[in-house]
Every structure is written in structure tokens, then in C-alpha cells.
Structure 1
Amino acid sequence: MAEETQAPETGGPVTVTVARRIKPGCEARYEEWVAGVTAEAATWPGYLGVSALRPAPATDDAYVTIYRFRDYHNCHAWEVSEARQRWLDRLGDIVEGEAAVKKVTGLEFWFDLPEVPVSASPSPHKMALVITMVAYTVVMGLNLAFGPLVAGWPLWLKALAFVSAQVLVMTYVLMPRVTRLLRPWLYGS
């Protein structure tokens, strides 16, 4: 696999997707490696989390690791660290070929699908339209469902509750489904 990256901006969250092929019989060792490198990365400033996908047709039968940092500076500090390099040095005899790497910033990670080539990305106007429609739907739904329950709360607390719920619902429930559903339109011409 070749490494391809999109140049990140310096502001906003950074999401890095790494796809690797593992030598047959080395799957358990690789999963132990992922657990170890994840535990190490979690101690770094700006670390926001990781998701790991096992080989499947949707991942082109590769292991995919998706990690996030608060901004480019924190992500870059991790990527050039000696600690990360020590972990990468342990991969030599369990992986096949080079990793495919893709970096995106800001809200682009909502549109990052493992089955889409690393060089593909939807146009900014399509991303903006989808995010606007999904965010509007979520905000309206939350207000209709929970607005009366929080009517007496201070404005800052209501806003915090609704924004937190909106981001969680969009990130973990809606955007993965909407992105897959709209994939032909998002990634088409």
C-alpha cells in the first residue's frame, strides 16, 4: 500500500486513517500491537481517540486504524515522536508492504469511508450541504424531544447539552450512515 496524505491545515481536529495488511498468522500480534500503541498515544497531549477496524470487504481486507488529535501540532508531535517510532519498529515482521495513510482536518472525518480510495474526497460544497441538513435535522429533533424538559435551564447549559448531543449523534450514529447512503453523489462528479 502506498502512503497518500492530504496536507492538513494547522487548525481544528486532525483525523488520520492508516490501513495495513498483516501477514497471515500474525493477526493476534498485530491486535496486541494496536492495543499497545493506542495506550501510548492516549498519553499524548491533544489525543482524542482511536477506532480500529478488522479486515473486511469494506476495508479491502486490511486492518484500519483511525486516530484523532485536537490539532495538527499535537498530531505531528505524536507522529515524529521517538515513542511512536519505537512502536513502528515493532511492525517489521508482522505487516506486508507499506501502510496507506490519509489525514483530514476539521469535519472531513465525517466523510472518511474505509472503502473509498485515500485520494478521493467529496467537494467542500457537498460536505457543507450534507452537514447543514443533518445538523438541522438533529437540532430540530433534539429541541422537539427535549426542549420542554430543559426549558428552565440557563441558556449556556442548554446550548452545551444540545451541542454535545448533536456532535455525538452526528459522529457515531448519523454521519457514517448518511455518508454511505450518499456515497455515489458525494464522491461522484
Structure 2
Amino acid sequence: MAHDEEGPVTVSIARRIKPGCERDYEAWVSGITTEASSWPGYQGVNVLRPAPSTDFAYVTIYRFESWRHCHAFEVSDARRHWLDRIGDIVEGEASVKKVTGLEFWFDLPEVPVEAKPSPHKMALVITVVAYGVVLGLNLTFGGLVAGLPLWLKALIFVSAQVLIMTYLVMPRVTRLLRPWLYGA
């Protein structure tokens, strides 16, 4: 990944845990998450527990606001200290994916690292989904915010749109459209 890339960075790490070490791994994830949350640019973490959709691996997904902030954490002594403590509870090597910008909306744990949808397909899906979400928000809540200043209405709707798309809509749309997005 180039040093000059702009925008948020999302990192997905899939690990297989030795049988009986699940509690230790979850404590480890909690500890390294607490460490990461104190770093500049940290935007959050999600942990997916073993399931068919994750190929029965734990998948940790963390985000930083920029490549610079993500890289600073990844090369830190603090992170290295945590990684040194994980060796006895994992099996094999971790599978790591790193995406920048809006690509994280199209990132699925079960899709190979090198697979990426084409930019025109991503743009088309984001446009259609964003249009639907904005239209729905306006039809549902437009009357409630009609008297607010334009800047505040925009802030409310953009914040709601990003949250809805990130956590509710895009994971489902990406799975639904997976054959088309990742096909030829």
C-alpha cells in the first residue's frame, strides 16, 4: 500500500485458534483493542467469531482514519508486544486484507485477498444504495428536521446514511451481489 493513499484504512485479520484457547484469544483481542483505541486515528474494531461465513476462523476488522495512523500502530512496539503473546493460542499464519477508502464496503471475509470488484461496479452499487438510503431517510424524517438549518440537516442525514450503509445495508448488498461484483 502506498504511503500517499488518502482516506480510511480497514484491516481484516483472520486467525484460526487452537481448540480450547478461545477464551484466551478473546482476552487477547480485548487487550490489543484497548491498546489500539488509544492511538491517533483509531476508528473502531469488529470481531467476527468462527462461523461458516468466516471459514470457522476469528476475523478481526479494525479501522484507522488514514494510512499514516494505521502504519504507526502496526509498526509500534506496543502492537509487537501483543503479537508476541499470541503464538501459543493460534494455528498457522494469519490471513490479512487491507483496503482503503470505500473498498471496505465491498470486503467480505470469505473473498480471497486479491479479489476486488471493478471501480465502475462499486460506483454503481454505492450510487444506487446511497440514493435509496437518502430517499428513505428524507421520506421518513424529512418533516422532523424541516425547520433545522441546512448544515445541521445535512450533518444528520449524512451521519445516518454512512452508519446505515456501513452496518446494515452494504454487508447485505455485497453478499447478495457477490457473483456479479467479483465475477468477470
TM-score (norm 1): 0.95
Q: Shift in Å at residue 73 of structure 1?
A: 0.3
Once superposed, which parts of structure 1, at least 4 consecutive aligned residues long, lie more than 6 Å away?
none
> What residue number does 1:135 align with?
130
Separation of aligned partners in 2, 1:57 and 1:119: 21
Name the residue aligned to 1:59: 54
Query: In structure 2, which of residues 5, 8, 11 is the aligned counterpart of residue 13 of structure 1?
Result: 8
2:146 equivalent in structure 1: 151
Shift, 1:118, TM fit: 1.6
Using the aligned pairs only, state the percent identity.
Answer: 76
Partner residue in 1 for 2:103: 108
Query: Paired residue for 2:174?
Result: 179
Q: Supply the AA of the counterpart residue of 1:149.
A: L
Q: Which residue of 2 aligns with 1:79?
A: 74
Residue 116 of structure 1 aligns to a residue in which SS?
Answer: coil
Q: Any stretches of 5+ residues in structure 1 without a counterpart?
A: 1-6
- Structure-2 separation of matches of 1:186 and 1:121: 8
In structure 2, how many angstroms separate the alpha carbons of the residues matched to 1:169 and 1:113?
17
Q: Aligned partners of 1:30 and 1:104: how far apart in 2?
A: 24
Match of 1:26 among 2, 10, 21: 21
Equivalenced residue count is 183
Structure 1 range deviating more: 21-30 or 64-73? 21-30
Normalised TM-score (structure 2): 0.97
Unaligned residue ranges in structure 2 (runs of 5+): none
Deviation, 1:52, is 0.3
Residues 18-43 of structure 1 show CA distances to partners (whole Å, capped at 9, x for unaligned) of: 00111111111011000000011000
| Partners of 2:43 and 2:66 in 1: CA distance | 10
Aligned residue for 2:160? 165
**Letter in structure 2 aligned against 1:59:** T
- RMSD over equivalenced CA pairs, Å: 0.9
Q: SS in structure 2 opposite 1:65?
A: strand
